[in-house]
């Protein structure tokens, strides 16, 4: 249990760290770090690059629509535009997760939302921590692995998922 003095010290440390971040001289890192988001779909943890998304939403209202694609959760209004939201777990081959409350907006020209159940953390790692080795048996849309302190995580390619969505949409349109 934390006593009152410890809590007061913790707050002071936070304030000091925040202030010192602006007091220190700017240092340009030699290797630009990579920002990742670690999420959980079903029982599996995944990561994807922050540079592949254009926004992160939570508890956004999703309006279900009739669609032959079971992975389509519905339409969400984001910044004045209607964005289709797909189930991240279903696209990766897991059962659809109706409790998914987090939505990331895929970057690129096509506005697409991907819904998942839990956002674990936002991490910055060195680029060399992401490797393309030992991914032969990895699931579809996973081309790399990232070594995080709590274990290796498959890195999902959001662009690949968006392409997959495009292919499925076209296939359905062609079928119609």
Partner 1 sequence: MMEQWTFGQKVGASIAVLVALTAGIGIIAFVALRDVVSTKDRVIDVDATLLVDAQRLRVLGERKGGEGRAFLLTREERFVAGMQAARAEFAAVLDRLRQGVAIDEGRRLAGAIEDAELNHQRALDAVISQRRTAAATDVIAAAFDDQVVPERERLDRAIQAFVDRQAERMEAAKQASTNRATVAIVSTATVVAIIALAAVVLGALLTRTLQRQIGSAVGQVQSSSAELQAAATQQASGAREQSQAMSEIATTIGELLATSRQITESAQRVARVADEAANAARAGGDTVDQAHESIAAIRRQVDLIVSHMLELGKKSQQIGTVLEIVSELAEQTNILAINATIEAAGAGDSGKRFAVVADEIRKLADRVAGSTKEIRGLIDDVRMSVNTTIMATETGSKGVDAGTRQFGNVAASFKQIVGLVTTTTEAAREIELSIKQQMSAVEQVNVAITTIAQASRETEASTSQTQQTASQLAVLSKDLLRVIRPQQAGA
58 binds partner 1 (CB under 8 A): yes
> What is the closest distance, in whole angstroms, from the C-beta atom of residue 56 to partner 1 in the complex?
5
Site for partner 1 in 76-105 (CB under 8 A): none
3-state SS record for the chain: CCCHHHHHHHHHHHHHHHHHHHHCCCCCCCCCCEEEEEEEECCEEEEEEHHHEEEEEECCCEECCCCCCCCEEEEEEECCEEEEEEEHHHHCCCCCCCCCCEEEEECCCCCCEEEECEEEEEEEECHHHEECCCCCCCCCCEEEEEEECCEEEEEECHHHHHHHHHHHHHHHHHHC
> What is the closest distance, in whole angstroms, from the C-beta atom of residue 28 to partner 1 in the complex?
9
Site for partner 1 in 117-156 (CB under 8 A): 121-122, 124
The footprint of partner 1 on this chain (CB under 8 A) covers a number of residues equal to 22
12 binds partner 1 (CB under 8 A): no
Binding site for partner 1 (CB under 8 A): 1-2, 10, 14, 17-18, 21-22, 26, 35, 37, 50-51, 53-58, 121-122, 124
């Amino acid at each position: 249990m934390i006593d009152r003095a410890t809590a007061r010290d913790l707050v002071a440390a936070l304030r000091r760290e925040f202030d010192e971040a602006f007091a220190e001289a700017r240092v340009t890192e030699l290797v630009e770090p990579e920002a990742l988001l670690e999420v959980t779909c079903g029982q599996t943890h995944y990561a994807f690059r922050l540079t592949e998304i254009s926004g992160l939403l939570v508890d956004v209202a999703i309006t279900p629509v009739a669609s032959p694609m079971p992975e389509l959760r519905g339409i969400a209004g984001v910044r004045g535009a209607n964005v289709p939201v797909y189930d991240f777990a279903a696209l990766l081959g897991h059962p659809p997760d109706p409790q998914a409350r987090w939505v990331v907006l895929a970057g690129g020209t096509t506005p697409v939302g991907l819904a998942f159940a839990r956002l674990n953390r936002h991490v910055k790692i060195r680029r060399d921590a992401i490797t393309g080795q030992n991914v032969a048996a990895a699931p579809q849309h996973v081309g790399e692995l990232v070594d995080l302190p709590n274990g290796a995580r498959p890195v999902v390619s959001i662009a690949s998922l968006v392409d997959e969505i495009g292919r499925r949409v076209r296939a359905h349109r062609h079928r119609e």
